[in-house]
Structure 1
């Protein structure tokens, strides 16, 4: 696959992350006229070296929302991806349903992962994604206490070869956030992470979009 078409280096008018009353904002898409989408990859269970080579060759920007229990066997795997300019973000310690936890439990999950990721990767995560997309008011308050400046959701999700869309017309829109996962053959019915990501990029390009870096469209307070 050829390198991706160039996307704007960064937004002219990035989102300003402004909390209200201790509640951090929730981002599902980015308001922009640029014909770009943002690829986010969760968890970290699959650690295919061929995917690192693919990303090195193609230079596709991604945001990684990592979970401790998925990455603790090999923290170093994600460092070459980070060295390409990709940001590492918070996705909890143990991947629970956050809305099933009390305020203290939610703080433990977010603050614990914030500290661990900062220790291993040298930069404190700016963003937090609640597992399964489940959250409540306590999640937003806990994120504020622990350091992330926003909760990040998504508009589309990539499965094996197909994409699931929020909109019935099954079309991408400028600023959409796409969810994918670090998954391997066991979860992808024999397909590889490289194969899944190739299918994702094919769908993005067929609709005439480029992939931009989510963090370039966000301005922290």
Structure 2
């Protein structure tokens, strides 16, 4: 049927929208392929699924609870997110190394990660982590001075944790809800202090990745859906390589095993 005089012929909007979406996906994939090649990865990292609409229930890992964990509603300590998706979570601690190449690499590859910062290591360059935050990375609490917390009184632990909350709020505008105890060591006072400072979760890790090797918590020495992986802001002074070298080792392994890297905060 021919349109009446003056009537506009319309194309099907859904078809145009689908074509535009397909083009966007092709462009994004091509950019990811180019970035993987540029940074020396063996294969292109997998894309994580969308964040879950219903967040999984997070509880303390069995054997990682403290006395009165549930009665006091203390932040749970956990090493894995309960999910069937083949995703892992990269978390990076401390803040000693401030490598611009690392920021470029993670932005180019669009790999999410979570930072846990200690003030004594970041205070010489708060701006580096401001750039990180501007790229969508959440900055979390790893205490002011990275002490062995169980050796401290409740009040001193609270000073370490609440003091770092204050630093992050002052420098980056928001108080974190995630806290990682230094060395992964804690007691009931640690979690009480963390709760009193506004912390809701205390994730630690299931694996740790370095420039030249991995370390594992589990007997099977393997990755599992939802595992939290630890690394550190380190460079050649501490490692036999750079942070991009560490990321390369991390991504080559998880991709080869069919895992994507997801954003930890999307599951909490």
- RMSD, matched Cα: 1.4
Distance (whole Å) between structure 2 residues aligned to residue 203 and residue 162 of structure 1: 11
Superposition pairs of residues 11-90 of structure 1, within 5 angstroms: 11-16=52-57, 20-90=71-141
So what's the TM-score if we normalise by structure 1? 0.94
Could you tell me which runs of 5 or more consecutive residues in structure 1 were left unpaired when the two chains were aligned. Answer: none
Could you tell me which runs of 5 or more consecutive residues in structure 2 were left unpaired when the two chains were aligned. Answer: 1-34, 37-43, 60-69
Native 8 Å contact 2:89 2:229 kept in 1? yes
State which drifts further: 207-216 or 6-15: 6-15
Q: What corresponds to 2:201 in structure 1?
A: 150
Higher relative contact order (CA 8 A, sep 6+): 1
Task: Choose the corresponding residue for 1:167, options 212, 218, 222.
Answer: 218
Change in 2 beyond 3 A, CA 1:26/1:15: farther
Q: What corresponds to 1:214 in structure 2?
A: 264
Larger radius of gyration: 2
Is 1:10–2:61 an aligned residue pair? no
Distance (whole Å) between structure 1 residues aligned to residue 250 and residue 185 of structure 2: 24
Task: Choose the corresponding residue for 2:186, options 131, 135, 140.
Answer: 135
Task: Choose the corresponding residue for 2:171, options 108, 120, 124.
Answer: 120
Shift of 1:17: 5.7
So what's the TM-score if we normalise by structure 2? 0.78
SS in 2 for 1:15: coil
Shift of 1:81: 1.8
Instruction: Considering fraction of residues, name the structure with more strand.
Output: 1
Change in 2 beyond 3 A, CA 1:9/1:85: farther
SS in 2 for 1:8: coil
